[in-house]
Structure 1
Amino acid sequence: MSFYTSLSGLQAAQTNMGTISHNLANVSTNGFKRSTTQFSDVIASTASSNPNQISGSGTVVKSIRQQFSAGGYAQSTSSLDLAIAGDGFFAVKSAGDDVMFTRNGSFSVDSDRNVVDSQGNKLQVYPVDGSGTVVATGLDSTIPLRVPQTSGSPQATENVALTLNLSANSPIPAESAAFDAENPYAFDRFDPATYNQSTQTTIYDASGNALTMTNYFVRNTAAEGDSGTSSWSVYSFVGDQQLSTGSAPEGGAAPMTLEFDATGNMLSPTDAVSFAGFTPPGSTSQQPLTLDFGSATTQLSSPFAVSSRSQDGAAVGQFEGITIGENGTVTASFSNGDTQPLGKVVLANFTNPSGLRQLGDSTWASTGISGEARLGEAGSNGFGSLMTGAIEQSNVDITEELVNLIAAQQNFQANAKALDTANQISQTIFNIRG
């Protein structure tokens, strides 16, 4: 009988060493949870057995119990790296829609723009509306977190507004040798001597493509007459295409004319001026476009300056980044300034986490022992808080595991010695019979 008693001790010690070795092997595995081996003694007795004379029949492994204490946290530069400070698991789904749970929050974006773990399992979030409010709950209502590539719809620019000051001290370019005084349309945008100032505004065509609108300001007359009025010409270009407010006497494009009184206030135009015949590059249809200098544009002695600039077009926003708030709300930002809530990270918890079935890769599945998953949000009752830019490491303590390994090895050696002793006793008995 002592053979089987010692053998059970050997097997139990071997299992314990295997469990400890598994812990040590995963000391650097993110989200890994250590296990401990639980033993139980074996007693073979009957109702007629004397309770004072029962020696026992060895030991068995009762369970290998997982320890879900928190591991250390390593800082990260990725906004998709998440860690849970407290109770809870991330919910992920495989390609076959199998639901799994993990504490390893090292996520990335795959080729289909889904946020996935290292095994390609998709991170699950609650769907939200435009304000970030959750619109559906429950495990069947969760959706994979997917990063959109663009945001918004393109809108062609139809109205441009500028407010500026044209310096009253600016000379008339006609005094330059490069300017033909007898030809008021001798302006040349490639010759800075033919204009006083210029400014650029980004506008958009119907496809959302960015175009550059450049306005050149040419002083025509200084303050003259009893009224003290003066005028400027504004030549407008989109790329290499000159815009026109009408037909020039020479058949070219007519510039816009600004008039100011003696105090520097603009007299005309009083409304936005429409350009004629503007066709964006690559387009076959004309695009309406107006330019409005408003009522605050002035001609003062101070230097040329643009105080405000606006236009009503919009480009399609390209994805630029993603942020995850402490409450789990995922927000994407785009190049056109848009922000879009994509969902809220789902956290799951269990009545008995130790009953979860290990699937490997720091993932678990629910069982009848663990109970059904209870879903919630980060920071709510029964769930830990969410940390971004951090990853939870293994909760294995190398020192503790090495001490446990020494103890398990000694236990194994002690049982092996007991087995050897029982063998020697049996050999002695056999020799006596011989």
Structure 2
Amino acid sequence: MSFYTSLSGLQAAQTDLSTISHNLANVSTNGFKKSRSEFADVMASNFTSDPRRMVGSGAVLQQNRQQFSEGSLLTTGNSLDLTVAGDGFFAVRMPNAVGTQAYTRNGSFSVDPNRFITDSQGSRLQAYAVETDGTVPANSAVGDVRIPLNSGEAVATGSVTLQMKLNAAATQIAGNFNAADASTYNTATSSSIIDAAGNTTTLTNYFVKDAPNDPSGATSWTMYSYAAGAPLNNGNGTKVTFDGDGNMTAPIGAFALSTTPAGTAGAAQQTISLDLTGSTAAKQPFAVVSRSQDGRAKGEFSGVAVDESGIITASYSNGDSVKLGKVALANFVNPTGLKQNGGNYWTTTGLSGQATMGTSNENGFGKLMSGTIEGSNVDITEELVNLIAAQRNFQANSKALDTASQISQTIFNIRA
């Protein structure tokens, strides 16, 4: 009988060694939770047995208990690196199992080519749908998070304001203006505008001083306007004049730059109103004081962020910010009953119970942190000490088995 008792001890020590080895192998695995082998003694008895004379029959594995203490936190600066500080798991939908939901503590997410928020294995982060103000509607279900490629509708530029300081001491330019020849104009300035097709193009204004310096200080200029490289107003210039004090006398108020060519072939044309009010002329280098335009480009996706409440917000090139969802967190009555699936995933079992879903900072759920990753909760020093203890346990049971073998051999060697 002692053979089987020692054998059970060897098996227990070997199981303990395997558990410790698994913990050490995952010391650098993000979101990994260590396990601890727990054993129970085996007693063979019945109702007639005298409890004072019972002898145990070895050890048996009672459970491989997962330890859900929090791992170390690493700051990454990546907005989609998430950590649950406290209780809770991220819910993800596994890619190769339709409808199968898994749970993980590894919050390393990114945007895949299809603009879904996924982990390194392609599983999609689950989140609650939200209203435009970020509130979660009643009875909102969790689902995938997909980032729209664009935001808003393009608005073609209707008016441009340009305030500048022209150099009154500039020399007169003789000859015909040619936008391709810098010697035929004194200075130029460009403004980005939105064409009728919603594309960003460039409005460039060239200034040619067309009168000699007046004793009074008055100056006269001709402004030639081009959009998308094509002349406006059939190439005719606009007279811009200043009095002796450098104040603009013409044009007064806004004026039209008609039939602006669209930046995209076949698209509708547009007319722009240009206002130079506030521009001056002085004996100093040319400078732009201010410029603005009322067009609005269609926003292109530029980034995504998650705040501590779990709101996922996408940013766009036109300044839009769109709230896409609120990260769903899961919790369980008995997390140690979850089934380890590998790949940092857990799934539910009858022991764990079904997931209770919620969000960051709710009762029973941890606080979400962005820009950090939770590492493994394995303590190397502790595991190495446990490894030594498991090794000694194995050696002790081996010695007990060897001793039982020697006693048996002694009995076999007894001769009459």
Listed as ranges, the matches of 1:109-128 within 5 Å are: 109-128=111-130
Task: Give the match's secondary structure for 2:260.
Answer: coil
Residues 166 and 298 of structure 1 are in contact (CA less than 8 Å); yes or no, is this contact kept in structure 2?
Answer: yes
Residues 27 and 65 of structure 1: is their aligned pair in 2 closer, same or farther, counting only changes over 3 Å? same
Query: What is the identity percentage for the equivalent residue pairs of Structure 1 and Structure 2?
Result: 52
Displacement of 1:261:
4.7
What is the aligned partner in structure 2 of residue 309 from structure 1? 291
How many Å separate the matches in 2 of 1:216 and 1:145? 49
Residues 281 and 372 of structure 1: is their aligned pair in 2 closer, same or farther, counting only changes over 3 Å? closer
Displacement of 1:107:
2.0
What is the aligned partner in structure 1 of residue 364 from structure 2? 382
How many Å separate the matches in 2 of 1:281 and 1:154? 14
How many Å separate the matches in 2 of 1:188 and 1:416? 98
How many Å separate the matches in 2 of 1:100 and 1:381? 22
How many Å separate the matches in 1 of 2:244 and 2:273? 24
What is the aligned partner in structure 1 of residue 226 from structure 2? 237
What is the aligned partner in structure 2 of residue 71 from structure 1? 71
What is the aligned partner in structure 1 of residue 15 from structure 2? 15
Displacement of 1:189:
2.7
Residues 160 and 289 of structure 1 are in contact (CA less than 8 Å); yes or no, is this contact kept in structure 2?
Answer: no
1:371-420, Cα deviation, whole Å (9 max, x unpaired): 22222323333333333333222212222222212212222222232233
2:197 to 207, 216, 230: 207
Residues 107 and 118 of structure 1 are in contact (CA less than 8 Å); yes or no, is this contact kept in structure 2?
Answer: yes
* Alignment root-mean-square deviation, CA: 2.8
How many Å separate the matches in 1 of 2:65 and 2:197? 60
Task: Give the match's secondary structure for 1:57.
Answer: strand
How many Å separate the matches in 2 of 1:153 and 1:421? 85
Task: Give the match's secondary structure for 2:398.
Answer: helix
Displacement of 1:225:
11
How many Å separate the matches in 2 of 1:313 and 1:283? 19
Letter of the 1:49 partner, please give it.
S
How many Å separate the matches in 2 of 1:361 and 1:288? 56
Residues 150 and 299 of structure 2 are in contact (CA less than 8 Å); yes or no, is this contact kept in structure 1?
Answer: yes
Structure 1 range deviating more: 85-94 or 383-392: 383-392
What is the aligned partner in structure 1 of residue 100 from structure 2? 98
Which runs of 5 or more structure 1 residues have no equivalent in the other structure? 174-178, 181-185, 245-251
Displacement of 1:36:
0.6
What is the aligned partner in structure 2 of residue 248 from structure 1? none
Residues 254 and 275 of structure 2 are in contact (CA less than 8 Å); yes or no, is this contact kept in structure 1?
Answer: yes
Residues 218 and 232 of structure 1 are in contact (CA less than 8 Å); yes or no, is this contact kept in structure 2?
Answer: yes
1:370 to 352, 356, 359: 352
1:134-174, Cα deviation, whole Å (9 max, x unpaired): 33666xx112222333333333223222122334444443x
Which runs of 5 or more structure 2 residues have no equivalent in the other structure? none
Residues 278 and 286 of structure 1 are in contact (CA less than 8 Å); yes or no, is this contact kept in structure 2?
Answer: no
Residues 289 and 225 of structure 1: is their aligned pair in 2 closer, same or farther, counting only changes over 3 Å? farther
What is the aligned partner in structure 1 of residue 260 from structure 2? 278
1:166-188, Cα deviation, whole Å (9 max, x unpaired): 34444443xxxxx14xxxxx323
TM-score with structure 1 length normalisation?
A: 0.85
Greater fraction of residues in strand: 2
Structure 1 range deviating more: 97-106 or 379-388: 379-388
Listed as ranges, the matches of 1:186-201 within 5 Å are: 186-201=176-191
Residues 272 and 290 of structure 1 are in contact (CA less than 8 Å); yes or no, is this contact kept in structure 2?
Answer: no
Displacement of 1:99:
0.8
How many Å separate the matches in 2 of 1:229 and 1:74? 67
Displacement of 1:211:
1.6
